[in-house]
Amino acid sequence: MRALALVTAFCLSTLAPAHADEMPGTQFKTGFWEGAANTNPDGSFSHCDVSVGFTGGATLWMALYSNDTLAVLLSHPDVRFRTGDTFDSWLMLETGLPTRGTSEAWDEAFAGMTLEGIDPSISFLTQGTSLRLLGIGIDEAFDVSGITEALGLAKDCHAAQMNGTSGGTGAAGTVPKVPDILKPRTGTAGGGLGTRPGGTLGTPAPKPQP
């Protein structure tokens, strides 16, 4: 299908998620976006992530893994998932062709799609400024202005870590580690699996100053 021409989506690992630890000194920031390199429990490089929060409480989290994959996950405080559930979904921007694939719930807060090939995935994700991931119950369009710069820094972070490591198989299924000020509320208030959130979404939320 032409919809799969740019990037190919594949189902995430069904292994239980494992927490990652942020590597000191690897943090980066651009505009509303910020990220860092993260390690596996054994200390080896796992991924470089970058995230942005929105005024409605939603979070977009992306990670570049050592196995040449790129994860795109969304959360919203009014949408809860069951870990491991999968969804037939479409990832799209306002320009270019969409990508159809299988999204998976990584935990009760985050679900999304993992794409094969970091370079083609970045090319796909930076072709517009309005991102949607349809099929997981969060059907709004999100303003992703600055995504080109954010993913550029994440790619630099990934390259720096890969140049200093022997490689590895990555850590598909790692629970997104986002700043506490961006992490959605937990619990079941507001609906269950696949509940479409109400309210106005899509505007990046300014981060509190330290």
Quick one: pLDDT band at residue 184, thresholds 50, 70, 90? Answer: very low
Distances (CA, A) of 65 to 20, 130, 160, 203: 12, 24, 12, 27
Distance CA 6, CA 50 (A): 21
The whole-number pLDDT of residue 19 equals 52
Distance CA 177, CA 180 (A): 9
Quick one: pLDDT band at residue 63, thresholds 50, 70, 90? Answer: very high
Quick one: pLDDT band at residue 56, thresholds 50, 70, 90? Answer: confident
The upper half-sphere exposure of residue 28, i.e. CA atoms within 13 Å in the direction of its Cβ, equals: 19
The whole-number pLDDT of residue 107 equals 93
The whole-number pLDDT of residue 175 equals 53
Is the pLDDT at 53 greater than 60, yes or no? yes
Mean pLDDT of 81-108: 94
The whole-number pLDDT of residue 135 equals 96
Mean pLDDT of 123-146: 95
Query: Which of 15-29, 40-54, 165-179, 183-197 has the weakest average pLDDT?
Result: 183-197
Residues 6+ apart with CB under 8 A from 69: 114, 115, 116, 117, 118, 121, 170, 172
- Tell me which range, 41-45, 121-125, 138-142, is most confidently predicted by mean pLDDT: 121-125
Domains of the chain from N-terminus onward: 2-163 (2.60.40.1880)
